[in-house]
C-alpha cells in the first residue's frame, strides 16, 4: 500500500515566503521518492494555503486543512467551508485531532459530520483517533479505538474508503509537554485493533491506510514504520525543518522495507 507521511503545522507563525520556501526545500529533498509514489501532505494554517499551492501544484505534495465546517455554507462566523478550502488549494482535510476534541469540544457527532462532508466533497481525509490514557489495558484500548471508528465512519460510502487515512495518535503522546512516542508494542496492539475494527465495521481494511502520530522523530521512526499494518507517519516537531522531515521519511521507508 502507498506510504503516507504528513505534518500538521497547527498555529505556526510563518509568512507566505517562508511557507513557500519550506515546500520547495521539502520537494527538492524528497526528489525521487515523490516520483516513486510516496504520498506527502502538509497541513499549514489555512491562510497560507493559496501561496503554498503555487509551489505544491508543481509537485505531488498535497496540502491540507486542519479544520472546516460540515455545512456547505451559511451563518457560521469564523468557519471555513470545504469549497473555500478547495479553492485555496487544499486536497486533504483533517478530522478528529485531540486538540479539536478537547479544546473545542468536538464530539463524535461533529467528527462524523465533518468526515462525511470531506469524503463526499472528494477530499482525502485524515481521521485522528487514539486513547487518552497511557495505562489503558489492551482490552480497553481495543474497545476505545473501535468505538471511535464506529462513530466516525457511520454513513461513509465504501467507495470513498480509498481516500481515508486513519491516524492513530494516542492523546498522551501528543504535544510539547511530552517527549516520548508510544512504545512499538503499543503501536502494534493499536494497529491490530484498528485493522480488525475496520474489517468489522466496513467489511475491509485493505483500502484504508493507517499512520502513526505522536512524538515521531529520527530515533524512533524506523521502528514504528516497520510495525505490520502501519503505512506511514504523522510527524510534528521533527518536521519543523523540511530537511529533518525528509530525513525522517527516508529512515522510516528504510525500516518499512527491511
C-alpha span between 180 and 158 (Å, rounded): 36
pLDDT in tens, 82-115: 999 999 999 999 999 999 999 999 999 999 999 9
Please enumerate in sequence order all residues whose Cβ is within 8 A of that of 253, keeping only pairs 6 or more positions apart, or say none: 3, 33, 38, 225
- At residue 108, the pLDDT reads 96
pTM over the 0.85 mark: yes
- At residue 177, the pLDDT reads 66
DSSP state of 6: E
- At residue 255, the pLDDT reads 66
**For every one of its 258 residues, what pLDDT tens digit does the chain have, with 9 covering 90 and above?**
789 999 999 999 999 999 999 999 999 999 989 889 999 999 999 999 999 999 999 999 999 999 999 999 999 999 999 999 999 999 999 999 999 999 999 999 999 999 999 999 999 999 999 999 999 999 999 999 999 999 999 999 999 999 999 999 999 999 866 678 999 999 999 999 999 999 999 887 778 999 999 999 999 999 999 999 999 999 999 999 999 999 999 999 986 655
Nearest alpha carbon to residue 118 among 158, 77, 82, 84? 82
* Domains located in the chain, CATH noted: 4-256 (3.20.20.70)
3-state helix, strand, coil in the chain (%, to 5): 45, 15, 40
Provide the grid cell at 176. 510539547
Known catalytic residues are: 97, 169
Amino acid at each position: 500500500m502507498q506510504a503516507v507521511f504528513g505534518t500538521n503545522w497547527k498555529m505556526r507563525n510563518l509568512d507566505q515566503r517562508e511557507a513557500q520556501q519550506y515546500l520547495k526545500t521539502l520537494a527538492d529533498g524528497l526528489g525521487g521518492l515523490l516520483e516513486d509514489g510516496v504520498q506527502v501532505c502538509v497541513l499549514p494554517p489555512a491562510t497560507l494555503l493559496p501561496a503554498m499551492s503555487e509551489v505544491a501544484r508543481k509537485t505531488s505534495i498535497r496540502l491540507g486543512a486542519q479544520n472546516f465546517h460540515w455545512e456547505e455554507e451559511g451563518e457560521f462566523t469564523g468557519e471555513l467551508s470545504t469549497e473555500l478550502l478547495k479553492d485555496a488549494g487544499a486536497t486533504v482535510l483533517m478530522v478528529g485531532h485531540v486538540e479539536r476534541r478537547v479544546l473545542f469540544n468536538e464530539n463524535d457527532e461533529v467528527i462524523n459530520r465533518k468526515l462525511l462532508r470531506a469524503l463526499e466533497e472528494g477530499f482525502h481525509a485524515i481521521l485522528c483517533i487514539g486513547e487518552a490514557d497511557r495505562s489503558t489495558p489492551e482490552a480497553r484500548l481495543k474497545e476505545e479505538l473501535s468505538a471511535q471508528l464506529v462513530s466516525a465512519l457511520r454513513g461513509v460510502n465504501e467507495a470513498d474508503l480509498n481516500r481515508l487515512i486513519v491516524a492513530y495518535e494516542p492523546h498522551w503522546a501528543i504535544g510539547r509537554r511530552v517527549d516520548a512516542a508510544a512504545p512499538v508494542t503499543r503501536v502494534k496492539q493499536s494497529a491490530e485493533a484498528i485493522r480488525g475494527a475496520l474489517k468489522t465495521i466496513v467489511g475491509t481494511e485493505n483500502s484504508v491506510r493507517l499512520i502513526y502520530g505522536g512524538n515521531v522523530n529520527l530515533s524512533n521512526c524506523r521502528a514504528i514504520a516497520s510495525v505490520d499494518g502501519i503505512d506511514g507517519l504523522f510527524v510534528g516537531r521533527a518536521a519543523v525543518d523540511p530537511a529533518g522531515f525528509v530525513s525522517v521519511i527516508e529512515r522510516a521507508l528504510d525500516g518499512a522495507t527491511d
